[in-house]
Structure 1
């Protein structure tokens, strides 16, 4: 019997358009002989719209916006066993695949909602999603587990405005130039700047604060950008590594999603010793945030063979340019099979949780 999969995409986030690209790729990869695909679009204002089950692939990105082809719903209607509805279109779903990036999707918020309505969902839980979204919390957890990483400082907007000079001196004394300024709770290289002097640093911090109340500044590392994909629950496994070779100063939003102006080398050129080190660190990072389902772990590999973990992404993109599915493809797991595996992992985790005793 077919599984009814709800694909939730869009979202009230600066990464709304990235999510649409991910959704388009996933929809067109799913085997419609195995799955009934139910599109659920979250508008930029936060309104939820559910469309009819898809009967064929989707060709145009704008078709996913469901402006006239869906009905506005309450998110709780995703589980009609708990919240009955008379609408035939609102039948219960077997599993939800959140294809959301950034705040209000990748940060534990929708995961908390899905926990409350007691429905299986693909990917990381509330804690891992929240920790993986907040780069400061994530790096603090990595430090706690002894994972090697670049030096960093961070501050919230109100503190920065009260003590601007002190904050700038902290960056210069602890990190120096070049350095990278990032919103703490955003991904897809949105709001990230590389700085070579104080003037650029001040401008970059102001840009980052447009996207978040918390900013992190990291030291510039000279090294190759290496990524590895992880899937699993209690016993995660890793793909081959991939290498990002941007033709620009760094791997920015445009290079990732628009012009493809980046060389993606898969498998990346690493020694067996380097691979085993990166794999071990990736699994350790996965467990440090209590991950489940999937993460993409990003590293810097220095000339002397030292690996520094940069971050984990708990909901990596599935666009045609995305590293996560490409690395698994080169490992022997094709895109469609990868999605099926992630759905299986979601069901597995859900069934485990149903065995937990909630009364005393």
Structure 2
């Protein structure tokens, strides 16, 4: 007997296309002998559409979701990853894959995540919060990275090395969010750690992945096909342990479920947290599946573990 799983992709954020790719990958990757996939897509305008691309109202969506045993939300960014879809599932009493409302909202907010990490003694890049009214008077303090507080896929992220670049970088970030972060540039290796809460409740960290390259790992670098991912990353034992411990600590403190990708800079002084993604890219060739594949957990098996660990 198969389990009926609603796979939701798309969404209204700048990560719409990335989300569609994740949803298509998961829909194809779920073992058809165990799962009956029901695809649902949220358009850029917020309209829900069914398998036949027919538009539906929320009542129609609710009827379809109630006919499924598990919901697998794969909407990256605002109005999805930020706890919005988790809230819909919880209000409807549906089992769903991934982090709950609180964890999704906290992790999506990079400023709030920094505050949590700092309270745990985990280093983050020195930075400050900038709002629209404060952007014109934001002072130049040296090379910085400017990013939206609550956007993903590295959209709106700029490395600024000259004073004249600060204003346009803030404008680009604030075009996607009402708040931006201005952070000091951190010199270190970019290392990602994937953490999974298994169906039995155990937390496991996959072998870390290193992003090799110069400059900011922006949208074009991430999805243009030129990214150099090395997994497992070549690390000293003490660095690997420090990264894993920090990733597990942040994941637990935020209250995450399912899988999350925790991104760090590895410096001479140890790990510096960059951000936490509770709905990371989930095509077979995305970073998280690659990390678990390096541990011997194939793509379909990873998806199976996530569905079996679905919660209300």
CA contact (8 A) 2:82 2:105 kept: yes
d(CA) in 1 for partners of 2:57, 2:72: 17
d(CA) in 1 for partners of 2:58, 2:242: 42
Structure 2: unaligned runs, 5 residues or longer: none
Matches within 5 A, 1:8-27: 8-27=8-27
| Runs (4+) off by over 6 Å | none
Matched with 2:76 is 101
- 2:116 maps to 1:141: yes
Which of structures 1 and 2 has the larger relative contact order (alpha carbons within 8 angstroms, sep 6+)?
2
Matched with 1:154 is 129
Matched with 2:85 is 110
Matched with 2:305 is 341
Matches within 5 A, 1:52-201: 69-80=52-63, 92-160=67-135, 164-165=136-137, 167-169=138-140, 172=141, 176-177=142-143, 179-201=144-166
| Equivalent of 2:293 in 320, 329, 333 | 329
- 2:230 maps to 1:271: no
CA contact (8 A) 2:264 2:275 kept: yes
Matched with 2:218 is 252
Structure 1: unaligned runs, 5 residues or longer: 52-68, 81-88, 351-360
d(CA) in 1 for partners of 2:276, 2:170: 22
d(CA) in 2 for partners of 1:76, 1:289: 32
Cα deviation, residue 74, structure 1: 3.3
d(CA) in 2 for partners of 1:273, 1:184: 31
| Equivalent of 2:210 in 243, 258, 279 | 243
d(CA) in 2 for partners of 1:309, 1:155: 20
Matches within 5 A, 1:267-346: 267-302=232-267, 304=268, 306-346=270-310
Cα deviation, residue 210, structure 1: 0.8
Superimposed CA distance per residue, residues 60-116 of structure 1 (whole angstroms, 9 cap, x where no aligned partner) = xxxxxxxxx233333454554xxxxxxxx7761101111111111111111111111
| Count of aligned pairs | 310
d(CA) in 2 for partners of 1:143, 1:196: 26
d(CA) in 1 for partners of 2:307, 2:206: 18
